[in-house]
A and B are shown apart, each in its own frame.
Chain A
Amino acid sequence: MDETPRTDLAPPTAARPRGPLFVWANAVVLGWLAVAVVLSAAHQVLGLPGWVALHALLLGAVTNAILIWSEHFVVTLCRAPAPLARRVAAGLTALNLFVVTVLAGVTTNVSVMTGAGAAGICVIAAVHTVFLVRTYRKALQRRFGHLICFYASASVALLAGAVTGAALGTGAATPIWYSRLWGAHVHLTLLGWVGFAVLGTLFTLWPTTLGIRIADGTASLARRALPVLAVGLVLTVGGILAASRWLTLAGLVCYAAGVGVAMIPLVRALGTRRPRGPAAWMLAAAIGWLGVAVLIEGVRLLLAGSIDALPDVVGAVVPVFVLGFTVQVLVGALTQLLPVVLGRGPAEHKSLSASLARGWQVRILLTNLAVPLVAGDWPRPLPQIGWAFGALGVGTFAVLALRAAIPVALRGAATTVQAPDRPSPSSGTTTGIAAGLAVVVLAVALAATGTAEAPSTPVSGAAHTVEVTMSAMRLRPSTVDIPPGTRLVLRVTNQDSMPHDLRADSGQRTPRLRQGETALLDLGEIQGDHQAWCDVAGHRAAGMTMTIRTSPAAADTGRDHRAGHDPGTGAGLDLGATPSPGWTPHDARLAPPAGTLHRVELHVTEQDVEVAPGVRERRWTFGRTAPGPALHGRVGDRFEITLVNDATMGHGIDFHAGALAPDQPMRTIGPGERLVYRFTAHRAGAWLYHCSTMPMSQHIANGMYGAVVIDPPGLPAVDHEYLLVSSQLYLGGPDSDQHVAKIHTGRPDGWVFNGMAAQYDHAPLTARSGRRVRIWLVNAGPGDATAFHVVGAQFDTLYKEGTWLLRPGDPGGAQVLDLAPAQGGFVELSFPEPGHYPFVDHDMRHAENGAHGRFTVTEPPQ
């Protein structure tokens, strides 16, 4: 080694090293960096996935930079023969064409383009590996041989990363393999391609930025670190592919150990000289974030207890890898290296260095403040503020560097870089900005804690809501048929461990949803056909798409407003969907009569009620539920009902269980008014009560109904007594014209027991085998008849409209209790053995569209 304290990355000759090609290649790197910054800020506006910005950065800027600089270092430091400039130019041009092809392929969802671009990148990676290995053999200066080994390992990782990336981007990966390949792809590219290349370079670059000699022993430590790192990467990737958490953890620990070994010479160098200037600080911060990212990933994976948490964990640490480590290393390295490339002679180097260093304290501050902001699970504006800080920090560098590089690339001469007016930035500025930003961020964080709104924002106005689930790389339903002009709202729930989002071709999108998260996507009024898909790269290609079809036919078939779904469930509502969080079924148990005077205050309210699994709709209700509360008494009992109208329009009430002149008690009362309705129950039966305000069809269809049960004298007690009120279900806002038209023409969206489709499929009624069960039924309508049947059981008692049609001990049995609108009655049965007995409205169109439930019958206690 000569006596100069600095390591020669380029001979300090008057001529620029490596000629104009090298300048242009670096200008391309800076160009990609600028594109990535612009895309990260504007991709939402442009309607592009965030994936594009990330890959413009990693595949565009970082991959170009690693390729050109690794080749440069190998040639310069190992005194190896340089490849022909033409070949290098052709290789770099091809690389950039392939990168553009991949970006375009994923954006336009053309798998062939994605595949071709990824294949091209594989070829480039393979050629680069071969070049490095051959260079190693020809190298004159073996002292830097470890550098070649690091770069060769890195390009092997790139090759593997490109293969996995191609499988993801083209949709070739099956749902089970998708998340494993994704995890492998992320680690191969970030820990392998970027990590190896950066760590290898640092052995040389770090002393250079500090302005000291490379310490003895660095090479031997480097040679020891590489196998540890490589084994760590192989174990990590192998663990992810094999879905083994412990193998993955072992890999991460091993990789972290490798980083630790590689750090030894770098930390020792700090003993010689403290870092000064932008490059050293940025590299130090970047390595710090690499360690933090590996640590966070390992700890979170350990705590998560399952490999299924990997996508979530990786999703959280990727911003740290990308912004904290990769971007910062790139900017730091270019700050150090660009002056060497662009300047001729020490004077130009110095002025270029000064211009690239402008405001570096603030830029470092912004970038490193941004990392925790974008990576943490903070409430809204904070991550956005973080991204803005990051874009500002990196974007400013891109602008500074491009301003220096473009003139050199175009004219071959650096513009005379004016020395700043004041050689040192005014002292105190950085501290002031740092302190100011810190208190502002803290204050905004405090302000953003908690949410003022209810967790689920109700959709205002009339809308048709369709439940959409994401699981196993599919959107369910995959097709939604609606009449034109329907306002469509999708309630999207992600059930996958992979994050997903949903984006419509009209531009609306949900935020990225993690497992179990739900978001509403209001698509507005739908006129033509639309497509929607998951915007995570490759998911669309893998089949996460959905078609929204409008056809006037949908309005005429009597099954309009229906969501298409999997073959199998075959009906208009998604009855298998999960009810909303916090849902409780309407209690079907009929409480025994209490006393002989029944005083009840019934408030009319407008209420959001679960009408089908996961579908909540505005209803007009008696006593906040639809059906309203059940009244249970005996013949001769007195009922005093105070009706209070807490709603916004006129309502009334009509009790079929009482006989009186309707004029006064059944009058419509306005909002805020009360009326008292008194009657004596002279006759037994299952009676309907309902709103008496015109149009009654609309008031009943919107939920204003309930039942009065008057026991016949001498009715024996039974083991279980249930009350089911059947009705038709009309979706859509309570008073939209479309809704009223559907009611008038009798085209319901479903049929229900006790106000919600299939609710007792989700919360079955219980009974014990051999014990008597009585089921009271009232048909609230407004229009259709019902035919109650229990699958696998027979009725030995049938009481319909005031008389027994069948009594226990009669030789015959009954299979159905049929009720016209407003009729009522009860059946009794005992289940022969334990099991699951469905109960249905045996008009199968009704049963398949919601009038369906289940008894869970168990052994009676001994």
Chain B
Amino acid sequence: MIDIWTIVRFLHVLGAIIWVGGQLTITVVVLPPVRRLLGLAERTEVLRTVGKRFALITAALFLPTQITTGVLLAWRNGVTWAALAEPGYGRVLAAKLILFTLVMAAATVHGIAQAKHRPAAARAASITALVGSLGVILLATGLVER
């Protein structure tokens, strides 16, 4: 049945798709040919533009959408602070939230390191964020009952 909650869930999943899919696409699809085909100056320019755009979308659209829809969905499912500590659904959700926070922190570190021209740290942070995002998806999959 399609109701308002379908829309909320749709927005939540859509946000996750765009963010994780975007990271994967950039890392796996965009970066290798960019590295191979472009000169150093152009490469830096392209990657910087892509990174800034991704950061903008993340901060302006993705984070507000995910947090709003996530809180709504949790409220709808009757999640309380106490329920987060309970084994099963609660703990999986808590682990997912913690992991999501860490991923966001890693993404922020990526942006800072990039700005300070420390490519190794930036790359480490971006890959941490990517692997962590996949972990978030794994835990989210575990939340869907049956």
Contacts and interface: CB of A to CB of B under 8 A. Distances in A.
**A interacts with B:** yes
Contact of A443 (B36, B122, B135): B135
B132 A447 contact: no
Interface stretch (A197-205, A232-240, A449-457, A845-853): A449-457
A432 B88 contact: no
Contacts of B102: 439, 443
Contacts of B135: 436, 439-440, 443-444
A440 B134 contact: yes
A428 B138 contact: no
B98 A446 contact: yes
A802 B16 CA distance: 78
Interface stretch (B43-51, B59-67, B123-131): B123-131
Given A449-B87, A450-B88, A436 B131 contact: yes
Contacts of A437: 131
A431 B130 CA distance: 13
A557 interface: no
A428 B126 CA distance: 9
B91 A447 contact: yes
Contacts of B89: 452
Contacts of A648: none
Given A446-B91, A447-B95, A427 B138 contact: no
Contacts of A451: 87-88
Given A440-B131, A440-B134, A440-B138, A446 B122 contact: no
B123 A427 contact: yes
Residue among B119, B120, B131 having the largest count of chain A Cβ atoms under 10 Å: B131
A85 interface: no
B122 A428 contact: yes
B98 A435 contact: no
Interface residues on A, range: 20 to 34
A429 B122 CA distance: 10
Nearest to B102: A439
A862 interface: no
B11 interface: no
Interface in A443-493: 443-444, 446-447, 449-453
Contacts of A426: 123
A452 B87 contact: yes
B144 to A, nearest CB: 14
Nearest to B32: A421
B139 A428 contact: no
A433 interface: yes
Contacts of A449: 87, 91
B121 A428 contact: yes
B128 to A, nearest CB: 4
Contact of B96 (A431, A443, A450): A443
A610 B129 CA distance: 52
B132 A436 contact: yes
A436 B129 contact: yes
Contacts of B88: 450-453
A432 B131 contact: yes
A439 B139 CA distance: 12
Contacts of A453: 88
A426 B96 CA distance: 29
Contacts of A440: 99, 131-132, 134-135, 138
A439 B119 CA distance: 22
Interface string B60-97: 00000000000000000000000000111101101110
B99 A439 contact: yes
Given A435-B106, A439-B102, A440-B134, A447 B129 contact: no
B142 interface: yes
Contact of A435 (B92, B128, B138): B128
- Which secondary structure dominates where chain B touches chain A? helix
A424 to B, nearest CB: 11
Nearest to A432: B127
Nearest to A450: B87
B125 A432 contact: yes
B127 A429 contact: yes
A427 B120 contact: yes
Count chain B CB atoms within 10 A of each CB in A435, A440, A444, A446 and give the residue with the most: A440
A444 B95 CA distance: 7
B132 A428 contact: no
Contacts of B98: 443, 446
Contact of A447 (B103, B119, B131, B142): B142
Contacts of B36: 421
Nearest to B125: A432
Interface string A407-442: 000000000000001000011110111011101100
Contacts of B125: 432
A446 B93 CA distance: 10
Contacts of A429: 123-124, 127
Nearest to A436: B131
Q: Which of A437, A443, A449, A453 has the most CB of B within 10 A?
A: A443
Contact of A446 (B94, B126, B129, B130): B94
Interface in A821-857: none
B75 to A, nearest CB: 21
A491 to B, nearest CB: 24
Contacts of B120: 427-428, 431
A744 B12 CA distance: 58
A427 B86 CA distance: 41
Contacts of A428: 119-124, 127
Contacts of B94: 446-447
Nearest to B142: A447
A435 B135 CA distance: 12
Contacts of A432: 123-128, 130-131
Nearest to B100: A443
A427 B124 CA distance: 8
Contacts of A444: 95, 135, 138-139
B2 to A, nearest CB: 29
B130 A436 contact: yes
B1 to A, nearest CB: 26
Interface string B99-121: 10011001000000000000111
A432 B102 CA distance: 13
A214 to B, nearest CB: 37
B145 to A, nearest CB: 10
A447 B124 contact: no
Nearest to A440: B135
B124 A435 contact: yes
A447 B96 contact: yes
Interface string B19-41: 00000000000000000100000
Contacts of A446: 91, 94-95, 98
6 smallest CB-CB distances across A and B, nearest first, come from A436-B131, A452-B88, A450-B87, A432-B127, A440-B135, A428-B123
Given A432-B131, A447-B91, 7 more contacts: A432-B126, A432-B127, A432-B130, A439-B131, A440-B132, A443-B95, A450-B87
Interface of B: 36, 86-89, 91-92, 94-96, 98-99, 102-103, 106, 119-132, 134-135, 138-139, 142
30 contacts: A421-B36, A427-B120, A431-B127, A432-B123, A432-B124, A432-B128, A435-B106, A435-B127, A436-B130, A436-B131, A436-B135, A437-B131, A439-B102, A439-B103, A439-B135, A440-B132, A440-B134, A440-B138, A443-B102, A443-B139, A444-B138, A447-B139, A447-B142, A450-B86, A450-B87, A450-B88, A450-B91, A451-B87, A452-B88, A452-B89
